[in-house]
Amino acid sequence: MKKITFSLLLCSLLCLTAQAQDSMRVRQHLNQLCAPAMHGRGYAYRGDSIAADYLRDQFRLMGIQPYLSDDYFHRYTFDVYAMEGNVEAVLNKKDLTPWEDFSLAPYSESAHHTFTLLPVSADIVLDGAKLQAFCDKHYKIMKSCLLYLDMTAVTDKEQAKKLNRFFYSLSLFNGKYPFRGFAVGVEEIPVWSFSPAHKECEYVLAYLKHNLVPKKGGNLHLSYDNRFIKDYRTQNVCAAIPGTSVPDSIVIIGGHYDHLGQMGSDVMFPGCHDNASGTATVLEMAHYFKAHPLRYTTVFVLFSGEEAGLMGSSAFVRDSLLDFSKVKLMLNLDLLCGGDEGFTIVNATSDNTKDFFNSLVEKNDTTHWVAKVKPRANAANSDHYPFSAKGMPAVFLYTMGGRTGGYHAPSDLPENASLSPFTGIFNLLIYGLENLK
C-alpha cells in the first residue's frame, strides 16, 4: 500500500512539475514577445519582422521543419501606417501626455501644425448637407481647424455608434470636406484599432480627454509623423510536423502574432492577451507534438496582419498550396490569457466542426479541466474565418473571464495577465486533436 501511495504521489509530482514547466515556457515567450525590442509587433520600426525572426528561431530550436518555404516565411504585402518618432500635443499652451490625455488614430494624417478647435454638434457631423453648410459658414478658418465634437454629450447610443463608424472610416471622405480633421472629446481614451479602409487618410483624428477642452475649443498644436506605406512587406511564419500514419491529411494550428505596434516612440501596445498568448500556446503545442506527433500532418501558422483585417490568414489561404479537402481542422488561438470562466469556440456548431466541439464538451464533463466550453456561431472576427469561408473546418478559441491586461491598450502586459487555467485548456485541446476523427 505504501509503495502504491508513493508511486501515485511521485506521478502527481512529476505531472505538476511538467505542467509548471509548460506554463513557465509560455510565460517566457510572453515576456519576449511583449518586450520593448518587439515594438508592439506592429509596423512601426518593423516590429512584426523582429517578432517573426524570434518565432522562426523557436521552430528551428525545436527541430521542426519549415512549411511552404525554406526560411519558414510566407511573404505577402498590404498597405499600412507606421507612426514613429516623437508625438506631441499642446492644448492651449498646456503639454498633454500621450495616451493619458490624448491619442491619435493609427490612420491619422501626419501633422506639424497649430489647429483651431471649432466645436460642432453630432447632428451636423452625421448629416452631409449640414456639415457642408457648416464648412461654408466657417470657410475662412477651415484649412487650419479641427472640428471638435464632445462625445460625452452624445446620449443617444445609436447616434454614438454612427459617429464611431464615421471616424473609423474617415478616409472614405478624402477630399470631400475642407477642414483638417477632427478632435473628439472622450471620457476615456478609446482602444486603438486600424481602419478597415486600407487607404491613406487625408484627415487628422485626435482623441482628447473632454475635461481638458474648454467649451469654446481653443488651440491644439500637434506634431507627429505617421507614414503610409504602400505594399508593406510582411510575413506569416509557417512550420510543419509530418503525420505518422495519415500524412496527406492536415491539421492547422494557428494564431496571429502581430499587434498594434506603437503610437510614436513613447507609447507601445505590447499585446500580451491579444495575441502573444495565442502565439505562445501555438509554440507550446509545437513543442508537445514534436515529441508526440499526430497521425495527421500538423501545420503551424503564425499570422501577421490580423489587426489590419485578417490580412495574413487571407493571404495564406489565397497563396497556399494546400488541398483544402485534406484539412481535418483549422484551430485558431486568439486571446488566451485568463480563462477562469472557461473558453468559447467560434464556429462550434457547423456540420464540419461540431464533432470536435462535442468531443471537448464530453471530455470536460468528466475531467473538469476548464470551467465551461461554450459554443458561438461563426463570425469574421479572427484568423479562422478565411479558412471556414473556403469550406474548411475551422474554429476560433478564446478564453472567458480571469485576469488580463486589457484590450488594445498599453496595459496589456504579461505581469497583468493570469495563466492559471492554462494547463486545463492545453490538456483539453491536446485531447481533442489527438482524438480527431
What are 76-111's pLDDT values in tens digits? 999 999 999 999 999 999 999 999 999 999 999 999
In the chain, pLDDT over 90 holds for what percent of residues? 91
**Greatest pairwise CA separation for the chain in angstroms:** 93
Q: What structural domains does the chain harbor?
A: 23-80+230-434 (3.40.630.10), 93-213 (3.50.30)
Short-list 239, 267, 205, CA closest to 57: 239
pLDDT at position 61: 98
pLDDT band (50, 70, 90) for residue 5: very low
Beta strand 111-119 with 218-241: parallel, antiparallel or unpaired?
antiparallel
Q: What is the three-state SS of 133-201?
A: HHHHHCCCCHHHEEEEEEHHHCCCHHHHHHHHHHHHCHHHHCCCCCCCEEEEEECCCCCCCCCCCCCCC
Rounded CA separation 23/337 (Å): 11
Rounded CA separation 239/63 (Å): 10
Residue 195: pLDDT above 90? no
What is the pTM for the complete model shown?
0.93
pLDDT band (50, 70, 90) for residue 197: low
pLDDT at position 21: 40
pLDDT at position 8: 42
pLDDT at position 7: 45
What is the enclosing helix (H) or strand (E) of 19?
helix 2-33
Residue 4: pLDDT above 50? no
Residue 355: pLDDT above 60? yes
Please name the residues in contact with 185: beta carbons below 8 A apart, sequence gap of 6 or more.
148, 149, 150, 151, 152, 153, 208, 209, 210, 213
Short-list 358, 359, 339, CA closest to 399: 339
- The pLDDT tens digits of the residues spanning 226-272 come to 999 999 999 999 999 999 999 999 999 999 999 999 999 999 999 99
At 240, is the secondary structure helix, strand, or coil? strand
Q: What is the arithmetic mean of pLDDT over 50-76? A: 97
Helices and strands of the chain, counted as H and E runs: 10, 17
pLDDT band (50, 70, 90) for residue 367: very high
Mean pLDDT computed over every residue of the chain? 94
